[in-house]
Structure 1
């Protein structure tokens, strides 16, 4: 294993010169912000740079439209261009897709648009020439998007209606015309992922099926780019008391592989407007050849030796005792982890699956009040404090479905109301780096099959040498291009050495790993 570490690139970004105060040798931008408002969105665009955008004010001459502001910064975080686009008011940004130098952003009706207004708008940005174009269209009824992909001149959107009816929508990016492809499976359904194949001629769609609001089955369906369904296949667990929660599709060596997490009992369908995740016992991997399932292998997290590194001895002993009792009952013990599962990474003919474990955290509050007779009485209730992240779990599988290795990274100080992916993976040669960013620090761990390097951390610099971060929110870190990464978020900073000593900013830092 080589000695890898994160570093701050020695590029100098001079934004402002103030007498006797100089910017540090960091690549960073700062935009004015408010601490309690998640104003800015950020999209990494490879070596083309990074796009930052936000929703602005209503147009003065037409209150049905709102101005959105966009800026492209290059790989040194220098401004390349600034532009604007007028979108329908109440449109909500959902997701993006990037094809070469073209960026596509999907906006949808959040439920507040006027009846005659479009239900979606897709904004295309040609990064090279700062060209903006917009297509929009109508759907049969109001829906919520669940996934968004672009293939050639078609956008494919997974749609969820009330009562968990779903459709796949194919949108012509030239004129906005739509073709709706219904997915007719009994009872309630959710589209959990859209996966264009490597040829660009077929689209694979994963559907979670529920009956009487309980897990029933997971299917994948194939569609042509004209929206015609050509196949529907159930991913069969084969074994009793195995229920598939998520499914990530990978195309490898003329075969279809599906990986995800599973439960040992049926989970409920999430209620409308409520974030609910199926409690998971472990990972699985399945292989299909010509639509025929060749195998499906399950791996309980209790089999992951490295997972115990984040537990104390007493917890390990209790878990193993409970697992032994379950074995005697001929049932499987589950850690019941709530997981956010990442797309599969391919490396050296192995499938790398990463997931983040979290749980909802509550605290008990007791207030005192006077009853009808004037007596002081206690009133106790629970308050939701957010989602507490505690572990990033990674496992590698070979094409035969064998578990090759597994590991984890312990997560500290992430308690948030935003369910997002905070742990990320990057390959430095043959070494896998797991990392996350919080409170101005990058926490990372370097792993290979035969050796494990202890977790470490590095501080991210601010703009001025005497800056002191008072508060931080919304921080995250993502892969950018090559061995470069972006740290971003909101900071309230104090520096008594400069005028306007207190500032609140949305910041973007460039860091490197070597």
Structure 2
């Protein structure tokens, strides 16, 4: 029996508005029994004040592919509004999903050929439409986005990157130009709904020189602009775009110094939008990083190392100071999970989680002479998350961080959620049936991390254990917590029941400014969705 939980987080819903009070109290609760005879994968998508969508993919033990989708939409009090199902043809397999304001999309594909089906679910009434067609060629798909009535599928064919547009009108496909080249990797695909643009980001390595490229296409698939960021000194690992206006956008992400996925710091640069380039359509733009891009090493952030214990942090800061006096640089190597950018009144906020793969080794006899050791990855462990606030010109205004010790996940998910109210930002993440929360104002911590239990049940019931807990910033100061729990009843001989739960969580705390745990961000005091798996 396999149960799996995937939390779908959409960038325009990342920030929930918080009241001036902040405490977490469970409110409405929904429980769904877990099937003991089939495989189930749970997808949860928050819809702001329109409620929440639950998608359960049902399967069986004799096939790895799901047999049907069950969609249910609930209101903000977790009362069901509608339910619908879709039977998946045996030769199709769900590949990727994405969401727009009014629809949820699923991409289904046949493994042995180019045939695809795009399922479109209307979030208002649950009506399902399907669009069937053929790709231009067989390809492995890793990216899926929809803009109006065109789906964009990104992947690889014979180890070369390909992005295909698929029209819902005439069910035809075509390849976007300028991508099918050796030594290029697809990094990200973003769509700009307001300006009807598609941004394809790639990275490439040429003779130890790494190059990050942003190609912008029109809705119809015409290449409008190519922006190359040379990596002679710094190689960009990721890129997130935030349009400032019709003229300019900010490109933000993390970078390394050696063409590896290990980050040295974060960067930010301003680029002109394709719509503002009158007379320059189709031309390449070269950006000189030393002039237009700000690179910020982790050691330059005031609070990046606050997740460490005080003595360890102090020793590290002293070592950094000594090396700086000697004219030496210290190289850091961190893996980052970068969230979508959060717009603010000043500019934007960047949130990223620091993690590392977690491995487990086992020994077994080999050819009767000693033992051989096998090492396999069993998930990811997180250490901390950090935030950076930038103005609209790309200047770093502040930074902060929150420790997330002992937090692991089978899949690499965004665990820390943010909610803003005025100058205050609440950082929250789930762990073993509890919510851990901290309140900051820019570089200051105004309320230290506290824990709030989600294991309280009415009557004589109690939670034996809680697994795969996920948390979402939802709407108007509310969060959504969900996962798997085993619940027992006192003085009952019946075995504990296992459920998938969704909890509406309400914030209701004392005023932040009255918190006795407020402190500054000085170095002396700097001490501190859609997925888990259950087998």
Task: Report which stretch shifted further, 134-143 or 182-191.
Answer: 182-191
> Out of 191, 200, 203, which is 2:195 matched to?
200
Preserved CA contact (<8 Å) 1:33 1:490: no
Which of 305, 311, 315 pairs up with 2:312? 315
Question: What is the TM-score with the length of structure 1 in the denominator?
Answer: 0.82
CA distance in structure 2 between the aligned counterparts of 1:48 and 1:501, rounded to whole angstroms? 37
- Tell me which moved more, 378-387 or 289-298: 378-387
- CA drift of 1:463 comes to 5.0
Q: How far did residue 405 of structure 1 move?
A: 0.7
- Taking structure 1 as reference, are residues 512 and 46 closer, same or farther at Cα in structure 2, changes over 3 Å only? same
Aligned to 1:508: 502
CA positional deviation for 1:35: 12
Flag the structure with more relative contact order, 1 or 2, with Cα contacts below 8 A and sequence separation at least 6: 2
Contact 2:54-2:71 within 8 A present in 1 as well: yes
C-alpha contact 1:65 1:88 (8 A) present in aligned 2? no
**1:8 counterpart residue number:** 26
Which residue number in structure 1 is paired with residue 268 of structure 2? Answer: 285
Equivalent residue of 1:316, what SS? helix
The Cα shift of 1:104 comes to 2.1
CA positional deviation for 1:340: 0.5
Residues 451-490 of structure 1 correspond to what in structure 2 (within 5 A)?
Answer: 451-452=444-445, 453-461=447-455, 464-490=458-484
Q: Distance in 1 between matches of 2:86 and 2:433?
A: 33
* Equivalent residue number for residue 82 of structure 1: 83
Counterpart position of 2:303: 306
Cα deviations by residue, 1:389-429 (Å, 9 ceiling, x for unpaired):
11111111112222111111111232233111111211123
Moved more, 438-447 or 381-390: 381-390
After superposition, give the CA deviation of every residue in 1:487-511 in whole Å (9 maximum; x if it has no partner): 1111222223567441111111111
2:43 equivalent among 35, 41, 53: 41
Map Cα deviations across residues 179-237 of structure 1 (whole Å, 9 max, x no partner).
2213337432222222233533322221122347x662101111111111111111245
Structure-to-structure mapping, 1:223-238, within 5 angstroms: 223-236=217-230
Aligned: 1:91 with 2:87: no
User: CA 1:169–1:497 in structure 2 vs 1: closer, same or farther (change >3 Å)?
Assistant: farther
> Per-residue CA shift, 1:249-277, capped at 9, x if unaligned?
1100321210000112221xxxxxxxxxx
For residues 4 and 126 of structure 1, do their structure 2 counterparts lie closer, same or farther at Cα, with a shift above 3 Å needed?
same
- In structure 2, what is the Cα distance between the partners aligned to 1:64 and 1:445? 41
How far off its partner does 1:364 sit?
5.5
| Cα distance change of structure 1 residues 221 and 70 upon mapping to structure 2, 3 Å threshold | same
Contact 1:263 / 1:334 at 8 angstroms: preserved in 2? no
Partners of 1:395 and 1:406 within 8 A in 2: yes
1:357 corresponds to 2:351 = no
Which stretch shifts more, 46-55 or 240-249?
A: 46-55
Among 25, 30, 36, which residue is 2:32 paired with?
A: 30
Query: SS at the partner of 1:302?
Result: helix
Q: Is the 8 A contact 1:28 1:463 kept in 2?
A: no
Pairwise mapping of residues 138-153 of structure 1 onto structure 2 (< 5 A)?
138-153=134-149
Which is worse superposed, 79-88 or 339-348? 79-88
| Distance (whole Å) between structure 2 residues aligned to residue 362 and residue 65 of structure 1 | 29
User: Which segment drifts farther, 135-144 or 314-323?
Assistant: 314-323
Do the aligned partners of residues 52 and 323 (structure 1) sit closer, same or farther apart at CA in structure 2, a change above 3 Å counting? same
Contact 2:38 2:59 in 1 (8 A): no
TM-score after normalising by structure 2:
0.79
Partner of 1:263: 256
Unaligned runs of 5+ in 1: 10-25, 268-277
State how far apart, in whole Å, the 1-side matches of 2:444 and 2:319 are: 31
Quick one: structure 1 residues 370 and 303, their matched pair in 2 at CA, closer, same or farther if it must change by over 3 Å? same
SS in structure 1 at match of 2:77: coil
Q: Secondary structure at the match of 1:454?
A: strand
- Output aligned runs, 1:329-478, within 5 Å: 332-363=329-360, 382=375, 384-449=377-442, 451-452=444-445, 453-461=447-455, 464-478=458-472
Q: Determine if contact 1:166/1:183 at 8 Å carries over to the other structure.
A: no
Residues 467 and 348 (structure 1 numbering): CA distance in 2 closer, same or farther, change over 3 Å? same
SS of 2:405's equivalent?
Answer: coil
Does the C-alpha gap of structure 1 residues 458 and 387 become closer, same or farther in structure 2, counting only changes over 3 Å? same
Aligned counterparts of 2:362 and 2:112: Cα–Cα separation in 1: 42
Say which SS state the counterpart of residue 388 (structure 1) adopts: strand
d(CA) in 2 for partners of 1:241, 1:38: 47
Contiguous gaps of at least 5 residues in structure 2: 1-18, 278-284, 509-535
Q: Which moved more, 1:379-388 or 1:280-289?
A: 379-388
